[in-house]
Chain A
Amino acid sequence: MFKSTNLDQFVFPWKEDNYRYSNDLKRLNDDESRYIIEITPEYEVQVREKRRLLDEQPEVRYQSFPHTMDMQWELVELILEQATERYPQHFTVDKDGDHWTFTNHILHEVEEFIFGDASSIEREPLDLIGRHFHNDFVLMAYRDHDLFLEVAQVSFAALFSANWNKGMSFTEIHGPVPFVSRTGVPLAERVIKFLLGLEPGKPWTRVNWNLMADRWDVNYETMHIWEPQRERVTVENAGKLVRLRVEEQKFYRLPRANAILFNLNTMFLPLEDLKLRPEWLIRTYHNLSDIPPEMAAYKGIDVFLNQSVEYLKREVEKLNVTQ
């Protein structure tokens, strides 16, 4: 599929040499980090891959309820406002009243629509504009004192399915995972409370990580395909087959819809590329060596973790030899 080639744009997930699970939530500043949209050297590959997945597997990749149109328009407005502000050379929007013309200058594509009028476009608003950006977009609406997944355009998320998770509350989505801190404190209620307290215009972020073995697409729908493939990993091929998968999550409050946007920026880096940043190689080795077994099991990496750690150890030893 693709990997991050501009390492300055790759969000390395660990701050310490020993593994520590934490919520890791932090407020975004009023700088570049607050933007939803990030254009990388892989933009075209990412977007074309996303579109392929959406076209080939529409039920898997895009789900929404009919009552979400207003919410989707609000998100479209946010996305386009940020994209044109951050990258005016790549994206422009001309407005003639409600008649909008969005131009993607990278792909040389134009979308014309009447803002707020779903009948003016063939796809749903988010499905249309979302296809111009590689992000996964998930909208959770505040309802009955909880957050419920009502719209999702998801191409790169792991162990997640827009089809299956549609309509679930935040707690229900995380039902099968041990959503607790390392000391066993349940986190779901705390996180929901935090999300419900988000203010418009003040986004937050956190980073989620995982390892992937060989296959890129690791969702529920294809579990019978990718699970056995994990056993192909050996110490010798781990550098190529195993990728560090980092999901940068950003949370925005949509005030009109009273919903929360989960914006996901997924990045991949093969283990063999870690040596391009020796400090990352060393830190990854120490963290993966320190993963609790139950965490490795729930992340689905227990089958190939030892091989990956051994590969990294050998690479670190090579570093020490050459230094």
Chain B
Amino acid sequence: MSKEKKIKKRQPLTTQTPFIVLLAPYLVFFFVFTILPVLSAIVLSFTDFNMVTINNFVGFDNYIRLFLSDEVFTIALKNTLVYALVSGPVGFILSFVIAWFINELNRAVRTIVTFIVYSPAVAGNIFFIWLYIFSSDSRGLINDILMKLGLISDPIEWLSNTDYAFGIVMIVIIWLSFGTGFLSFVAGLQSLDRAYFEAAAIDGLKNRWQELYYVTFPQMGPQLMFGAVMSISGAFAVGNVNRQLTGFPSTDYSTHTVLLHLEDYATTRFEMGYASAIAVVLFAMMLLFYVIVQKVLRKFSD
């Protein structure tokens, strides 16, 4: 891969012109709707922009406040990292493992199982079912079961009690994490070259784990990378689920994340400068993790 890149770089600009022209429409959109907002967020993060009045340049004030005096941001940062570090890898590994299992099934069954596993991600707001399961009403599913079993006598406020809320959100996020990454694994496993498996078997492969490690992984580099990127961006952008389940803001900010903190400042407090600073930090965090994951995965695929 890296060799090809170098060759392309050495090509004179004129031979690349057709490609650039063909790419232009997309590049324009990409610039206007992705690059420009990112750049403007970086610029705005150094101002006290509040959406209505003219903004003043405030230097690093926003960042200083964010890291040194905003206690809620610390909570949000901690929560986001825990969510990302647990649900990201767990979701990623689970996605792969389940895709790997499914791959052994015959075609019809495989389609059905794929559909079932993937459906929570497609169905969008289906996680509302968890609101019923963990409803704080005495008729909520879990409360009802526990009360019938005589384990508790009063309903537990699952989603507003700081002892439970965080864990419940974590479960739901993992449940939802079988997204596009999972699909790419299923597709990737399908497209593997059977010849390698045969060759490896002849070369003395001892068990399936070895097969997985020496044959499957190296072939699946791009899919693994894609899945990882998806699960990182998914894990860091956690927020909607928390909001729907535990309210906004949650009790004592127990399930607050960086994204929710950003929205809090942008939509209820209208402190866009500060919100931009949060966005920049979130962006930087995602970039950092992406680089780390890339390094780790390259070890497998090379």
A binds B: no
